[in-house]
Amino acid sequence: MSRPVIFDLFHTLIQGADEERDRVVGEMAVMVGVAPGDLVAAYHASWRDRLVRWDVEETIRILVGRLGGTPTDEQVTRAGEHRRALGRRVLHSVSTATLDVLDALRGDGHPLALISNATSDTAEAWPQSPLAQRFDVAVFSCDVQLAKPDPAIYRLAAERLAARPAECVFVGDGADGELAGAAAVGMTVFRTTEHNDTDPGWRGPAFATLGGLPATLRESSKVRQGA
């Protein structure tokens, strides 16, 4: 069987949309009656809790409360939908070229998984995205209360693929120490710089675009079979 391939999401398969995220949070702040800059700063400072603990509405209530606001249920719901709309837009921004790479990998028999440090709006939008149908497994930090580079999240993805970590290939831009985390559990690691040169110090193989990945894996398979 072809080796399972596990992908990161943001800055690997799609743009992270960092500037748009700050703009949307600023707009949410107006909806709930706090200063936009203050809420943006609170979002940045609470990244860990948002990745593994709080859903969309919890995040709004907790952070706005810390800023002295008292939003109504209607305001929270409106701001939450604004955030969810962003999640849907970002996931639907995936390029045709990236989808073609995933289709080529599936055509070569590679099981595909995703591991994403993501907030709940992304996980909720995932099933309706063009990416979802191309993946056998999707592991979101907000669902499993684990985040990269915790070894447990890599092992969980491999387990759901019915594979050992050493059998898997991990592909990511390198945010959150994800490349070292994957290597530490025995995965073969490839870095992509297509959307962001996040971890330039990584010494392993890197791709300027994901388009080179299927051919590289085919060659790697030939080498492994001949070993």
The confidence score (pLDDT) of residue 47 equals 95
pLDDT digits (tens, 9 = 90+) for 174-198: 999 999 999 999 999 999 999 999 9
Taking alpha carbons only, the member of 135, 132, 174, 182 closest to residue 156 is 182
Side chain identity at residue 110, one-letter code: H
pLDDT digits (tens, 9 = 90+) for 132-180: 999 999 999 999 999 999 999 999 999 999 999 999 999 999 999 999 9
For residue 220, name the pLDDT band (cuts at 50, 70, 90). confident
pLDDT digits (tens, 9 = 90+) for 20-57: 999 999 999 999 999 999 999 999 999 999 999 999 99
The confidence score (pLDDT) of residue 88 equals 97
**Partner residues linked to 112 by β-bridges:** 5
pLDDT digits (tens, 9 = 90+) for 77-117: 999 999 999 999 999 999 999 999 999 999 999 999 999 99
